[in-house]
Amino acid sequence: MKFRLNIFLTLLLLTLSHFVVAQDKLLKIEDVQNRKYYPTGIYDVKFMGDSDSYSFTKDGKTLWVGSAKEDAKEVLRLADFKTHKPLSLIGIKYLNDYQFYYVSSDNELCTYNMKTKESGAYAALEKDVTIYEVNYFPSRIAYKKDNNLFVQINFKDNQITTDGSRDIVYAEAVHRNEFGIEKGLFWSKNGEKLAFYRMDQSMVTDYPLVSTEERVAKYTPVKYPMAGMKSHEVLVGVYDVASQNVVYLKTRKDESVEEREMYLTNICFSDDAKTIYVAKLNRLQNHLMLESYDATTGDKISVLFEEKSDKYVEPEAPMVFVPNSPNQFLWLSERDGFNHIYIYDTTGKLIKQLTSGNWMIKSIEGFNDKKDEVLVYATKDSPIENNFYGINLKTGKITRYSKDNGNHNVAFNTKGNLFIDTYSNYNEVASKTQIVDKKGNILKLLHSSENPLKDIDAPTIEISTLKAKDGTELYYRMIKPKDFDPNKKYPVLVYVYGGPHAQLVTNSHLGGANNFFMFLAQQGYIVWTLDNRGSANRGYAFESAIWHNCGSIEVSDQMDGVNYLKSLPYVDSERIGVDGWSYGGFMTISLKLKNPGVFKVATAGGPVIDWKWYEVMYGERYMGSPENNPEGYKNASLLNYIDKLEGKLLLIEGYQDATVLPQHSIEFIRNSVKKGKQVDFFLYPDHEHNVRGKDRIHLYQKIYQYHKENL
């Protein structure tokens, strides 16, 4: 009896130890944001001035310097600063190979000399100033304070505007950050002039957001121009440092509403600061005019060229002047169906189209020292990769400088013959940084990260393509548990976005997924994502396919993916769930309501329910206005499909969301109640359009638990 008991105890201990080991190999949901499970790396890699030496930081607290011939060494610590201490060494800007600019913890603009080991401030801002723009050569700074615009030179402040308020907004990005607009202050290269936005939003409707933290809830309205309603009105001002005068560009032909509501985008000064260029777009967004103005008087000089479209024109980057050829510039346009480079002169004459083909220039990054080659990111070799190329301005010859397959981020020296390439891909490289020369030789490996999930049972990732009904090739990502058994049946969680300017499936670490998806796969789900028409980096026709009819072609493409899934013997077609946020929330509910019986469970965060409640710039680009596209708005409104609701649906909302207003979810619930449909709802009282920080784990738990209990 004792012998049998010992055998039993031994077997029990072995089983328990196996269980513990198995549990240790599973990613815990509370750890999906733990940096331990992210690839390690070096950060802020850049060349120093005009030299071939480079620097990087490992943690923001130490600065390392090396070259193609010498290994990097630690040269500076945050602790070395006696005064003017920076918060981080990330973001420094080199003046030359031994001196750099940085922002101190006291909001001072400072320089540090690595030879003398001395630092000094040349400008100082109050700590609550967060909107500012620095011109480094010569040193001067423009900033916003108390709603008005100021310029500081040699610690002397000059107030530029006096009428700033909640209604009259200076120095901020306008047009709700569309059209590539990320800021509201623009220094000329020589620092002689400053361009800035002035936005009058006094006529825009106040939307009543409410904060409930205080005993009596506080009214915290935001200006929100809904599609078809009154938009704000923008001017571009120019401040002259020497004369201290301000002029406003005469961008309006008259004072009609049409002229006042024009979008003013992609601001750029000529090198001598005498001329300023603005890409002007009508509110319908189908007619662009690139215009030049006298930066001293504000008078319009000319219309360089125009672009028109039956759908929309979307300028996203300012002109880029060709070095040593001040009368020539590069312009990015999708006019031939893909984003390519066109060379113009400043009279508006088209010299030539530099690039062409069924691929896209993603951005222009600079030039080599001979000024005969422009350096760009593009999708030439794969639409799911970000590669780095040089393009000869005379011949159009294209040379790829990023090594290996994947998504690349490249720093280059001023000569344009050395490249520090950081990249990853989904099946081999978690993160690698290496120095490459112009011939493609790898000169030095700076850093290589092991797979951060190597010690757990990491799921397997597959990226491939399938055909839509009309033959369009669509990329998908499938994540399977590591112990995947093709003879078993697995539930599927479809993660969807599906809207413009987003691409979820990429040849990068985890295929563009995140550790929450890895966790879900470990729990026994197949996690599926497909980039439908409407998503990014596949050309104008692919992205604009949703025009005036959101929620149609995207749903069709997604269902082609789901039907492929259902054809697989290891997919449990009775247990398919779907999850998405923002446009993905709109897609999640669209998929569920328009395909009853297919998706057993759905979780939708910050969903667009009816496009008439969405904002002017983005909404009208893709949907027009409710007045000129009533049928499209009717077809896209999810309120019109509530009768088809069945199964489980959870809406998740940030109560402070000023992007997709809480009204969307509330009205969906209101109409569901009227029609006797059951909907679950969860509110994050303090969050805006997404749930960030430590509360994101709570969001992941909520989504996982809902599918676990109902799928």
From residue 495, how far is each of 115, 480, 602 by CA, in Å?
A: 53, 14, 10
Known active-site residue 51 = no
**Per-residue tokens: 28:** 């815990």
What distance in Å separates the CA atoms of residue 111 and residue 92, rounded to the nearest whole number?
9
228/230 Cα distance (integer angstroms): 7
- The closest alpha carbon to 606, from 688, 502, 551, belongs to 688
SS3 193: strand
Q: Residue 317 contacts by C-beta under 8 Å, 6 or more apart in sequence?
A: 180, 266, 332, 363, 364
Burial of 150 (0-12, 13-18, 19+ CB in 10 A): buried
Residue-level length of the chain: 711
Q: Of 509, 657, 664, 672, which residue is the catalytic one?
A: 657
- CA–CA distance from 267 to each of 23, 180, 182, 312, 515 (Å)? 55, 11, 11, 20, 39
C-alpha closest to that of 575 among 615, 530, 526, 638 = 526
User: Could you give the dihedral angle defined by the CA atoms of residues 90, 95, 97 and 103, in that order, rounded to the nearest 10 degrees?
Assistant: -30
| Assigned token pair, 252 | 């309006």
Reduce the secondary structure of 211-224 to three states and give it as a string.
Answer: ECCCCCCEECCEEC
Is 53 considered catalytic here?
no
Distance CA 193, CA 200 (A): 22
What is the longest distance spanned by two Cα atoms in the chain? Answer: 103
Report the alpha-carbon distance of residue 347 to residue 656 in Å, rounded: 48
Q: How far, in Å, CA of 619 to CA of 548, rounded?
A: 10
Catalytic residue among 167, 372, 449, 689: 689
Q: Give the integer Cα–Cα distance in Å for 614 and 689.
A: 13
Helix (H) or strand (E) holding 197: strand 193-200
Please indicate whether residue 689 is annotated as part of the active site.
yes
What is the spatial distance between Cα 150 and Cα 147, in angstroms, rounded to a whole number? 10
Which residue among the candidates 55, 231, 270, 582 is catalytic per the annotation?
582
Residues designated as active site = 582, 657, 689
